[in-house]
Structures are given as C-alpha cells and as structure tokens.
Amino acid sequence: MVLEGSDRELVAACQRGERDAFRALFETYKDKVYSIALRFSGDPAIAMDIAQDTFLKLFSSIRDFRGDASFETWVYRLVVNSCLDHKRRSWRLIPIADELLAVLQAPADCLGEILRGEMQQRVQSAVERLSPDLRMVIVLRYTEGLSYDEIAEVLGCSPGTVASRLNRAHKALERRLSYLVNQKGGGHA
C-alpha cells in the first residue's frame, strides 16, 4: 500500500498523480518542514507560509525529482530555499516592536506562559539575529540533527564551510547568551 511504502514508492506514486501518496508524503515530512521554517523564522504564522510554499513547490515539481540525491535531502533543499526566499521578500520594520506588541496583546492568562517561555524566546531571538546563512546551519544542526556532511549536501557547500559557519554562529550565540548562564548560576537547568 502506498501509505506504508518507502520514500521511493511514495515519490513514484506522487509522480503518477496518486492523491493518497501526496497526503502520505505530507504526513511524512510536515513536521520536518514546519520545524525548520519555525526555528528559522521564529514566527508561527511565517512558518505556516513557508511550509505551505514548500509543499506547493514540492507537489508541483515532484515529477522533476530524478533521485540523484535522497528525497529527504531534496525536501530539505526546498524548505531551505523557501526560508531564504521569504527572508529576502519580507522586511520586518521593527522586530523589537513586534515582540513588544506580541507581549502587550497577549491575554492575561497567557502571561505566565510567556514568562515560562522567556528562555526559549531569548535563544530564538539570538538565533534570529544571526545572518540567514549562519542561522540555517544552526537550525539544520539542532532542529534536524543533521551531520556536517548532510548539511553540506543540503546547502550545496563543503563540510568545511559548514564547520566554519557553525563555529561563527556558536561564537556569536555564546556572546549573546552567556549572561543566561550567570543568571542561572552557571549551568543548564
């Protein structure tokens, strides 16, 4: 049955235009695509836009997939390109003001949740301030757990470049987040 098939069978079924196969493919990759979009953009609404854009591209161009790379790598490339395209198109006027508005507009019963999520916001905010190239390697590394070689294949660069970008990203994040360690007493909670 298509729904239980491997990627290859699913892709072949999609290429034949089988409707169930599209749904199965979506179910297989929806969390990966959405997670990358969310961690890259830091905004659920934008992540939905990126995920939708990615799947529309995936479904419309799946006939072009030749199997030169793994299908998963191909999906990663699509979502990475959608993220970077969205970043190029969008212009957030005042990101800090956006964040402030989000807090002010939150209902009172959400404030506790906001406080609990403060740490995540700070980390996400520090990640958002990275350049798109550095941010993407961080997301692929920590959200998807990809190896340097896998990240290099997705991004179309060398593993050395991935290592260099990760190193720069780590240094920037360490600089921006080191105060959290002091606040927490020197270790991870």
Interface residue list for other proteins (CB under 8 A): 23, 26, 30-35, 38-39, 44-46, 48-53, 55-56, 59, 90-91, 93-94, 97-98, 101, 119-120, 123-124, 127, 138-139, 141-144, 170, 173-174, 177, 180-181, 187-188
What is d(CA 55, CA 57) in angstroms, rounded to the nearest whole number? 5
Report the nearest approach of other proteins to the CB of residue 68 (Å).
25
For other proteins, the closer of residues 63 and 92 by Cβ is 92
For other proteins, the closer of residues 66 and 188 by Cβ is 188
Look at residues 139, 6, 140 and name the one whose alpha carbon lies nearest to residue 67.
6
For other proteins, the closer of residues 20 and 67 by Cβ is 20
Report the nearest approach of other proteins to the CB of residue 36 (Å).
9
Report the nearest approach of other proteins to the CB of residue 38 (Å).
5
For other proteins, the closer of residues 56 and 69 by Cβ is 56
Report the nearest approach of other proteins to the CB of residue 24 (Å).
11
For other proteins, the closer of residues 16 and 30 by Cβ is 30
C-alpha torsion 47→133→66→149, nearest 10: -120
Place of tokens 């896998």: 150
What is d(CA 130, CA 147) in angstroms, rounded to the nearest whole number? 20
Please report, for residues 127, 182, 185, the alpha-carbon distance to residue 188 in angstroms, rounded to integers and kept in the order given: 18, 10, 9
What is d(CA 12, CA 167) in angstroms, rounded to the nearest whole number? 39
The full DSSP string for 24-68 is HHHHHHHHHHHHHHHHHHS-HHHHHHHHHHHHHHHHHHGGG--SS
Report the nearest approach of other proteins to the CB of residue 49 (Å).
4
